């Protein structure tokens, strides 16, 4: 069970927020009406907080400033005060957005302030100034300029929060101010594990944090308790900045909270990306603020009410706090999708004890290893994206099998954070240090279960391959060599299960498809064997090799399955049913045939479970959980389905209607007849 421990103020832990970007304020063509906009926020969405931009991506202010230029056509207006007053009248928390990096005029007039990477300014394509944004380095004098803006805003208003967008030093910036601050030449990115590169990365990370503390100090120049929120963008990073560990420091030590961007269309992600972002939030003990994408990039047309509802529901059902990005505030952008968001926000607002400050129950923990990510990527985002497929594939398999999961971090493995999980998954976690190895052995020896894949524990701290797995005794396997990719000369594309084992139930003797890279290992615990492949574009399997494709064993009181290939990446890329079947049988064996949730729901329906402070278990059921970015125009109801929940349960109540659901007991399970699933159903188990 994951308990969220945070010092984030209550209003953010319970936030149902809307974001309004300042760039959408066309004061020339549109009569900006704060009363009308906050009325929409309050009445058409039932939100309780709003984030509104007052220092834009172009560097304009929407209040009378003595420092920065006013927005075009602002005139004598003070939009900052107008929105603050309206939020106070309508009981909506007012959060001020401030851009920390992009100012067009300063970029053009102070070329030495620009971020310089590989000898060139780091910017979007150099087109007309109105059509792009230009980033400035925080080590330059721009930072003092920005602090002045922050102090000016808090001097003129009393916002509930100050939101600082996308702040950090750009990795390997070569501007004169970074070189001066670093005190030595900025190194190249290779070799990645060299002392020079690692020294620089540590300096960059610590300096970014020090500068960020200066921004927080400016925000608290009037009110020492001013709430500050940093937008950290994502949790995936090939650098030490913007990792979960780095984001945790911004959320808990530097500021009060962070926001991350669970965008689907803008970043070409699947809807499952929302699950991942919220799981990262739980990993750092935070109900993370994240986007419910509304105007769909790049044309800013609205989603259907059904799609808007699903996005908002997925944030709530995974322990996040939604920020609708961005509320339409111009006549040409339709509000047609807002009823879907209101359905979710209204349910949450009516039942605060059910949704706020809850614990999340999870069956499996997936280790997200920042060290392994950085060793693999070596600062290359493309290589990081390839590595990411393994982790996303593991998430998808758990989601498709309706098994609740968490992400845990490197630092958690050597602690008691593993206690309470049935399964630990290591998806190609190349580097496992001594303390982590001891923690994993302790977990399995005490009755936990381990599923590891590919190069897990095969690298040292510098990313160099070890002669054998650091966890060889636990995996029951010894490294021999890398077989290669399925398209390379000596390759594999099939395995054959030969052992009579619970995980190979129904697979015995059958050909099993595999893909990606595989390792040749020696093991006495193999239950399936790799087969050779005759040639490219030929699917006839050749004779068996002597190398196992899957190994399964007992260790102490626990169980271990090791797959010496890119099993999770293969599922991410191909989604084969055979992979899903094998995974489910592994999980069933791990749980002694007592999975926490059994159901006849399709894999397009997502199930998560939380526990309130009073001890009630809360079942979140979201229909549709898509692997694609396709538009959702209609939610097709799922009917005549049941769900079996392990543990005691006397009554199951559908939260929205208050109706008791039909329930019966069977062995250790409560079997609940589900109501028609029309998008988002919440069920209270008593």
- 676 located within any domain: yes
- 43 located within any domain: yes
Among the candidates 570, 590, 610, a domain finishes at: 590
Do 585 and 602 lie in one domain? The reply is no
pLDDT in tens, 625-642: 878 888 888 899 999 999
**Percent of the chain's residues with pLDDT above 90:** 75
Q: Is the pLDDT of residue 676 over 50?
A: yes
Structural tokens at position 57: 């991506």
Per-residue pLDDT, averaged over 156-171, amounts to 96
pLDDT in tens, 185-204: 999 988 898 999 999 999 99
- 355 located within any domain: no
Confidence class of residue 24 from pLDDT cuts 50, 70 and 90? confident
DSSP labels, 253-306: IISSEEEE---STTTT--THHHHHHHHHHHHTT---EEEEE-SBTTTTBPPPHH
Residues in Cβ contact with 161 at an 8 Å cutoff, skipping those fewer than 6 apart = 12, 51, 93, 94, 95, 96, 226, 227, 228, 229, 256
Do 150 and 290 lie in one domain? The reply is yes
pLDDT in tens, 287-309: 999 999 988 766 778 899 999 99
Do 395 and 323 lie in one domain? The reply is no
Q: How far apart are CA 259 and CA 261, in angstroms?
A: 7
Q: How far apart are CA 113 and CA 451, in angstroms?
A: 49
How much is the mean pLDDT over the chain? 92
Model pLDDT, residue 491: 52
Do 390 and 342 lie in one domain? The reply is no
Model pLDDT, residue 265: 84
For residue 647, what is the domain's CATH number? Answer: 2.60.40.1180
Beta strands in 341-433 (DSSP E): 359-361, 364-368, 405-409, 423-427
Model pLDDT, residue 330: 58
Burial class for 27, CB neighbours closer than 10 Å (0-12, 13-18, 19+):
middle
pLDDT in tens, 217-248: 999 999 999 999 999 998 999 999 999 999 99
Among the candidates 557, 573, 590, a domain finishes at: 590
Q: Is the pLDDT of residue 530 over 80?
A: yes
Comparison of pLDDT for 303 and 2, the residue scoring more: 303
Per-residue pLDDT, averaged over 353-370, amounts to 96
Do 511 and 468 lie in one domain? The reply is yes
Per-residue pLDDT, averaged over 349-359, amounts to 95
Model pLDDT, residue 413: 95
Among the candidates 521, 556, 590, a domain finishes at: 590
pLDDT in tens, 496-513: 998 889 999 988 877 888
Q: How far apart are CA 134 and CA 112, in angstroms?
A: 13
Confidence class of residue 403 from pLDDT cuts 50, 70 and 90? very high
Do 501 and 529 lie in one domain? The reply is yes
Do 606 and 532 lie in one domain? The reply is no
Q: How far apart are CA 684 and CA 686, in angstroms?
A: 6
Find out whether 230 and 259 touch, Cβ atoms under 8 Å: yes
Model pLDDT, residue 535: 57
- 357 located within any domain: no
Q: Is the pLDDT of residue 353 over 50?
A: yes
Q: Is the pLDDT of residue 486 over 60?
A: no
Residues in Cβ contact with 418 at an 8 Å cutoff, skipping those fewer than 6 apart = 365, 408, 412, 424, 439, 443, 448
Q: How far apart are CA 452 and CA 450, in angstroms?
A: 6
Q: Judging by DSSP bridges, how do beta strands 518-522 and 478-484 pair with one another?
A: antiparallel
Structural tokens at position 132: 């792009």
Q: How far apart are CA 615 and CA 610, in angstroms?
A: 9
Per-residue pLDDT, averaged over 135-162, amounts to 98
- 358 located within any domain: no
Number of domains in the chain: 3
Q: Is the pLDDT of residue 411 over 90?
A: yes
Do 564 and 664 lie in one domain? The reply is no
Confidence class of residue 548 from pLDDT cuts 50, 70 and 90? very high
Per-residue pLDDT, averaged over 535-552, amounts to 76
**Percent of the chain's residues with pLDDT above 70:** 93
pLDDT in tens, 41-63: 999 999 999 999 999 988 999 99
Do 644 and 663 lie in one domain? The reply is yes
Model pLDDT, residue 6: 57
Do 187 and 274 lie in one domain? The reply is yes
Confidence class of residue 1 from pLDDT cuts 50, 70 and 90? very low
Domain boundaries, position 628: 597-685
The four Cα atoms 89, 90, 93, 98 give a dihedral, to 10 degrees, of -70
Q: Is the pLDDT of residue 494 over 50?
A: yes
Model pLDDT, residue 264: 86
pLDDT in tens, 113-133: 999 998 888 765 444 545 566
For residue 262, what is the domain's CATH number? Answer: 3.20.20.80
Model pLDDT, residue 2: 44
For residue 541, what is the domain's CATH number? Answer: 3.40.50.880
Among the ranges given (474-488, 630-644, 667-681), the one the predictor scored with the smallest mean pLDDT: 474-488
Find out whether 102 and 134 touch, Cβ atoms under 8 Å: yes
Do 280 and 374 lie in one domain? The reply is no
Model pLDDT, residue 539: 59
Q: Is the pLDDT of residue 533 over 80?
A: no
Do 212 and 129 lie in one domain? The reply is yes
């Amino acid at each position: 069970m994951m308990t969220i421990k945070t010092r984030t103020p209550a209003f953010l832990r319970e936030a149902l927020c809307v974001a309004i970007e300042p760039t959408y304020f066309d004061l020339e063509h549109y009569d900006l009406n704060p009363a009308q906009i906050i009325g929409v926020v309050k009445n058409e969405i039932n939100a309780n907080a709003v984030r509104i931009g007052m220092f834009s991506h172009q560097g304009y202010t929407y209040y009378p400033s003595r420092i920065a230029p006013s927005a075009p056509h602002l005139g004598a207006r003070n939009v900052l005060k107008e929105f603050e007053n309206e939020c106070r009248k309508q009981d909506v928390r007012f959060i001020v957005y401030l851009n920390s990096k992009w100012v067009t005029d300063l970029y053009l007039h102070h070329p030495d302030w620009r971020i310089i990477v590989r000898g060139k300014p780091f910017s979007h394509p150099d087109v007309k100034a109105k059509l792009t944004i230009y980033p400035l380095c925080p080590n330059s004098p721009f930072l003092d300029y920005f602090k002045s803006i922050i102090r000016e805003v808090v001097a003129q208003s009393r916002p509930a929060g100050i939101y600082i967008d996308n702040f950090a030093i750009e990795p390997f910036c070569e501007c004169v101010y970074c070189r001066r601050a670093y005190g030595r030449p900025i190194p190249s990115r290779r070799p990645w594990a060299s002392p020079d590169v690692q020294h620089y990365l540590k300096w960059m990370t610590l300096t970014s944090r020090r500068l960020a503390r200066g921004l927080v100090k400016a925000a608290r120049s009037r009110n020492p308790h001013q709430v500050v929120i940093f937008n950290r963008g994502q949790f995936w990073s090939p650098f030490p900045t913007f990792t979960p560990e780095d984001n945790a420091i911004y959320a808990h030590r530097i500021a009060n909270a962070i926001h991350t961007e669970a965008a689907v269309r803008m970043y070409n992600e699947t809807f499952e990306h929302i699950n991942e972002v919220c799981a990262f939030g739980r990993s750092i003990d935070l109900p993370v603020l994240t986007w419910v994408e509304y105007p769909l990039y790049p044309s800013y047309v609205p989603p259907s009410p059904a799609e808007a509802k699903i996005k908002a529901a997925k944030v709530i059902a995974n322990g996040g706090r939604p920020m609708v990005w961005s509320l339409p505030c111009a006549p040409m952008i339709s509000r047609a999708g807002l009823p879907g968001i209101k359905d979710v926000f209204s349910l949450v607002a009516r039942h605060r004890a059910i949704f706020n400050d809850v614990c999340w129950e999870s069956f499996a923990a997936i280790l997200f290893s920042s060290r392994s990510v950085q060793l693999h990527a070596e600062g290359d985002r493309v290589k990081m994206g390839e590595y990411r497929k393994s982790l996303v594939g593991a998430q998808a398999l758990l989601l498709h099998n309706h098994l609740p999961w968490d992400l845990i971090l490197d630092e958690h493995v050597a602690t008691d954070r593993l206690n309470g999980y049935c399964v630990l998954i290591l998806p190609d976690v190349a580097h496992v240090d001594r303390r982590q190895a001891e923690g994993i052995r302790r977990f399995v020896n005490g009755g936990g279960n381990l599923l590891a894949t590919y190069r897990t524990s095969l690298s040292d701290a510098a990313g160099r391959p070890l002669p054998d797995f650091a966890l060889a005794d636990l995996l029951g396997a010894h490294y021999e060599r890398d077989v290669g990719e399925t398209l390379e000369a000596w390759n594999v594309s099939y395995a054959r299960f030969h052992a009579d084992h619970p995980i190979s139930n129904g697979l015995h003797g059958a050909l099993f498809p595999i893909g990606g890279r595989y390792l040749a290992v020696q093991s006495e615990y193999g239950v399936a064997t790799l087969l050779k492949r005759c040639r490219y574009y030929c699917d006839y399997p050749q004779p068996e090799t002597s190398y196992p494709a899957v190994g399964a064993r007992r260790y102490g009181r626990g169980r271990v399955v090791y797959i010496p290939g890119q099993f999770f990446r293969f599922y991410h890329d191909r989604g084969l049913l055979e992979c899903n079947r094998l995974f489910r049988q592994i999980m069933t064996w791990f749980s002694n045939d007592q999975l926490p949730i059994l159901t006849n729901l399709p894999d397009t329906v997502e199930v998560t479970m939380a526990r309130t402070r009073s001890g009630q278990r809360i079942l979140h059921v979201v229909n549709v959980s898509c692997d694609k970015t396709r538009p959702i125009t209609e939610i097709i109801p799922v009917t005549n389905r049941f769900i079996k929940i392990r543990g005691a349960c006397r009554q199951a109540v559908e939260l929205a209607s208050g109706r008791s659901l039909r329930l019966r007991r069977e062995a250790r399970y409560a079997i609940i007849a589900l109501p028609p699933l029309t998008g988002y159903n919440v069920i209270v188990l008593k």
